[in-house]
Structure 1
Amino acid sequence: MGNKVRSNSQYWLKIVIIIVILWGVFFRVTNIDKKIYWHDEVYTSLRVAGYKGDEVVTTFFNGEIITVKDLLEFQTLKSETPLIYTINSLIEHPEHPPLYYLLLRFWQDLFGSSIIINRSLSILFSLLIFPAIYYLSQQLFNNNLVNLISISLIAISPVQILYAQEAREYSLWMLSIILSSLFFFKSIKTNNISHWFMYSLTLSLTFYTSILSAFLPIIKVSYIYLIGKILAVQTKINFLIFTSISGILFIPWLVITVINFSILKDKTNWTNTQQSLELLANLWGLHFTSLFIDFGLPLYHWASYIFIIFIFSIIFYSFFFMVNNISKNIWLYLLLLVLIPTLGLILPDLIFGGIKSSMTRYFFPAYLSIYLTIAYTLGKKIEQKSQTSSLILIIIFTLSIISNIISSNAQTWWNKASSYHNAVIAQMINQAENPLVITQNLDINKGNIISISHNLKPETKLQLLNTNTSIKAHPEFKEIYIFNPSPQLINSLEKLYHQKLENKNYSLYYFNILLPKLNF
């Protein structure tokens, strides 16, 4: 009788897990065209279309009146654009290895350059994560319930869904991390040459997807060193050979990176910004709670601390349980997978200063370890008839679904930080009858004005200024909006239009040139 009850409960739990996985699919594909196409995605489209940032400035940031439609031409891949244009554009941005962008280029060749098409490729990679993590879990734990929980946790994870809906490389990066881990374990178990080739290939794919994949060979070398006594000599030799092959395959982009190191340094200089330890510590907590809970609360909201305590308690207990209940060759890898990337991001910021560790997306390798560890712990505890573990799993599912319902209906979210208010800005401008929008090539304005333009009416007029552009008055426009101007530009415009600018919030300023009557 007891076995029958246990079997029935697991049967219904598996039904719940399947429903949760389907919810994960639904959240990935819903409202993908409604969310603001933010600064970084704008640069994805520029790179793929074969344009360089300087071309946008030269063409449009000259003080002439243009339309939104004109500006958005630079977001569209033209059928006659040679592939070499895309490659040359990518070379000028060595901080982003080219694999994702080249794949998106081919994707756009097939289907077009709309926002839905651009984001759909990331969704496809995110969906491919489901079978990939299933087989990795099977390789590690050989337990069907644990495998299903692994899929469900990553399927419904709010942070995975956020980046699945973004035209950037992070879903592909997670997929490649999972595949390289899968073939790594297959290789050291079987020492099969075909598995080693697949390991080398998938590890190389991680390199060509993110420069932060540099953590992965460190993890694997550390792992092989620490469990070396139980491995055959030939296995260790093959590991060194095929890991080296992955490095050799990456040499072409490594050479490009070295040649353009000054560009790389300039493009990543923002990560050296100084922030308080209090802010960074809060962000570290939210990085890991966003795996399962993300209500979009303010950074220092009291509920956020409750969620941090709840999630970290589950994480720490899960690692404790795993270390005490599974062989070292499994738990050691997962422990290194969470510790090396996490410490590799946090410690440099603590020692030298900077904000690299403030970026949630940089922690993806650590997240994989956490999904698998929690899945193993909850799965094994549920098999041991732990009602508490079943309840925790249901709570995680519930909180994740609520999180995704909230974020799926929002036009913007914290992952679009530098463009967070762009949807609201566009809405304010669209309400005007005959507006002119002015901005200048300052800081990240170039990417953000294009981002805002995706939500503006196509006929909306823009006046884009470079730092040395002379400004002309345009009294034919009823309302003038100025986005994120410098103090010098504010002063120049107020003199030109004989008015004081009104701050509309969100870095948007405003003139109504009908009030008062102007004499030009």
Structure 2
Amino acid sequence: MSSPPKRSSRFGNLGGFWPGGSGPGRAGWVIGFVLVVAVLLRFSALDRAVYWYDETITSVRIAGYTKEQVEDFFQPQGRPVFPADLAPLQRSGDRPWLATLQSLATETPDQVPLYYLLLRGWTHLAGDSVTAIRAFSALVSLLVFPALVLFGQAWLADWPRARSVIGLVIGLMAVSPIQVVYAREARGYSLAVVLFLLASWALLRALRLDRLGKPTRSAWMTYGLLVALNFYGHLPLALGIAAQGAYVALRGWLERSHRGWNALRHNLLAWGGSLLGALVLFSPWLVCWLTYRKPMGWIDRELTWGTLVQRWGLNFSAIALDWQACFDRPLFDITQKTDPIALSWHWLPIGLLLALVAFSIRRLLRVASLDIWLFPLLTGAIALPFALLDAVDGGQRSTIARYFLPAYLALTWLLAFGLSEAWANQRRRSWAAGAIALLWAVGLWSSSQGVMAPTWWNKYSSYDDPAIAQRVSELQPPVVISGNALRLLTLARRLPPQAQLIYLEEPDLPLPETIQRAIAYRPQTEWLDRLKTNPRYQIQAIEPFNNTWAIQVLDRPAGPG
């Protein structure tokens, strides 16, 4: 029987992956290559994909504007506005930092401020172009890899094949489509992944120090601070923090026979104290959230059973394969009961991936100790209550991937552990090598497709914006009308300088007399219905775009001679 690998004094079981000592070795060169690929996937062509609605809101927030102030740029309604007129709305630095906090707190308190403040500081150094803004997310996403090392050391502290597991996690995360997609978006999701990994590391470190009989006060304080940063970084991370509390409680309960009740009581009090401290630090924003939060009606929209199950499959498989690479329509339409695409043979690879995860869980439960297997299982299960709620009561909460980022991490940990165990078994090494190569190749292929595409599934309501902007640009002159000022601001980035953007939110306002042809992009329903009843206008839906219409002003009949 081979002895466990020798550990480096600084990097634990990762000593062979890093420079120093006898050199990086073959595994080190492999990890180095993987990280180069990770950098290329995250930084290549950052300005290619459409800068979608949510990203436009990011720019508006760091510039310190509210929705009402955005609408003021289009006043009076019906006045043509040109893209250059809207530049101040997406230029940070003109308004005070407090304006950024106020716009977030009063309009979108669920968008917690840490990412926006960091991004605003970044734009002062790098500028506020699309590339510069997205580069911040990409840069933060690279911190995932050292955070994985820290977490892996704490999670697998006594596991002889920890180095193999962590190396595989790094390899899978480098090309994981869900990680690449969110690393390239001007939102705080890559920061959220880093913060959750650090909080997980801090928790496991505190519990290990307690088991070794060492002082834990500073460790629990560190954990409490990181929990507060999780709350300020991405509010849905509270689900992952709750899973950590369940881990502390359930682990202590299952170990009570040999550690006693005092250990359980002590750790629960320490975790509760850290959580309380984090909530105190978060309380200013919590008050804003309770005061100004608004219901999100779309989240409760009922889906058909087939659509709900299909979305679960698509989201689950996104750890290794992005199915958008196989379709020319978006995977999701959160405004409808059904989605534009339907899976068929695609269920086979999804089933195989599910079987691989099931094998990994089975192996984890068989060979690992309680403190190792319990953490990823609880973290990965955070979406299950919401899936049950959606199945019973209706809604699409469980189908929004960004709400469950810790679960994607847990699934990757499980896969890496199972593949590492299969590799360690001589009889299974060949299929393990094939599975690793296939997962990496498929992840690299589908992530690369997303990097080069002008639009992708995560653009949701803005998926068709590039094609719509092209239709508008073909008009002479280019004219687009909308009842949503933020939609016009989003579309303006892809329009020529001479394009006319017209905001018509009031249903009784007429189409300006100077307009002969226009594209109506998400107009107000009442306004469009009134226009349809006027014989002067010919109105035709533009398929397959959602709520987009071509408007043609017909020649007026000649008067009496």
TM-score, normalised by the number of residues in structure 2? 0.84
Check the 8 A contact 1:63/1:469 in 2, yes or no: no
Tell me the amino acid that sits aligned with residue 550 of structure 2. Y
Paired amino acid for 1:71: L
Q: How does 1:355-374 map to 2 (within 5 A)?
A: 355-374=396-415
Q: Which residue of 2 aligns with 1:193?
A: 217
Q: Is the 8 A contact 2:507 2:526 kept in 1?
A: no
Structure 1 spans left out of the alignment, 5+ residues: none
Listed one character per residue, the Cα deviations across residues 415-434 of structure 1 (whole Å, up to 9, x for unaligned) are 11111100111112223331
Find the residue that maps to 1:152 and give its secondary structure.
helix
Q: Secondary structure at the match of 1:482?
A: strand
Is the 1:137–1:147 contact (alpha carbons within 8 Å) kept by the matching residues of 2?
Answer: yes
2:90 corresponds to: 75
Structure 2: unaligned runs, 5 residues or longer: 4-15, 17-23, 211-215, 328-340
Residue by residue, what CA displacement relative to the aligned partner does 1:62-121 show, whole Å, maximum 9, x if unpaired? 1111112213431222x3411111111011111111111111121122322211121111
Aligned length, in residue pairs: 502
Moved more, 357-366 or 59-68: 59-68
What one-letter code is carried by the residue in structure 2 that aligns with 1:318? Answer: S
Q: Using the alignment, how far apart are the partners of 1:374 and 1:236 within structure 2?
A: 30
8 Å Cα contact 2:506-2:527 kept in structure 1: no
Q: Do the aligned residues in 1 keep the contact of 2:51 with 2:130 (CA within 8 Å)?
A: yes
Are the counterparts in 1 of residues 472 and 518 from structure 2 also a CA contact under 8 Å?
Answer: no
Which residue number corresponds to residue 489 of structure 1?
527
1:168 alignment partner AA: R
- Structure 1 distance, partners of 2:488, 2:376, is 42
Looking at structure 2, the residues matched to 86 and 497 of structure 1 have their Cα atoms a distance apart, in angstroms, of 46
Instruction: Report sequence identity in percent.
Output: 27
Shift of 1:508: 2.8
- The 5-angstrom pairing of residues 65-464 of structure 1 reads 65-77=80-92, 79-92=93-106, 93-142=108-157, 143-191=162-210, 192-228=216-252, 229=256, 230=259, 231=263, 234-260=266-292, 264-266=293-295, 268-296=296-324, 297-298=326-327, 299-339=341-381, 341-385=382-426, 386-441=429-484, 446-464=485-503
For the residues of structure 2 that align with 1:123 and 1:190, how far apart are their CA atoms? 34
- Cα distance in 2 for partners of 1:519, 1:201 equals 75
Q: What code does the residue aligned with 1:321 have?
A: R
Which residue pairs with 2:338 in the alignment? Answer: none
**Greater shift in the superposed pair: 380-389 or 165-174:** 380-389
Cα 1:469/1:41, change in 2 over 3 Å: farther
SS at match of 2:294: helix
Structural mapping, 1:19-38, within 5 Å: 19-38=33-52
Cα distance in 1, alignment partners of residues 312 and 493 from structure 2: 32
Report if aligned partners of 1:434, 1:478 keep a CA contact under 8 Å in 2: no
3-state SS in 2 of match to 1:481: strand
Change (3 A) 1:215 1:487: closer
> CA–CA distance in 1 between the matches of 2:529 and 2:558?
18
Q: Distance in 2 between matches of 1:226 and 1:274?
A: 34
TM-align CA RMSD? 2.4
SS, match of residue 66 in structure 1? coil
Cα-to-partner distance string for 1:125-153 (whole Å, 9 max, x where unaligned): 21100110122112222422211111111
CA distance in 2, matches of 1:275, 1:72: 39
| SS of aligned partner of 2:110 | coil
Spell out, residue by residue over 1:354-410, the C-alpha distance to the aligned partner (whole angstroms, 9 max, x if none).
111121111211111111111122123213331111110000001001101211111
- Name whichever of 383-392 and 463-472 sits farther off: 463-472
Larger % of helix: which?
1
**1:187-234 deviation digits (Å, cap 9, x = unpaired):** 110143332222111111111122212223321222122221244754
Q: What whole-Å deviation, never above 9, does each CA across 1:24-62 have from its counterpart, x for those lacking one? A: 211110111011010111111111111111122233151
TM superposition shift of 1:241: 2.0
C-alpha distance in 2 between matches for 1:363 and 1:474: 50
**Residue 508 in 1 paired to residue 537 in 2?**
no
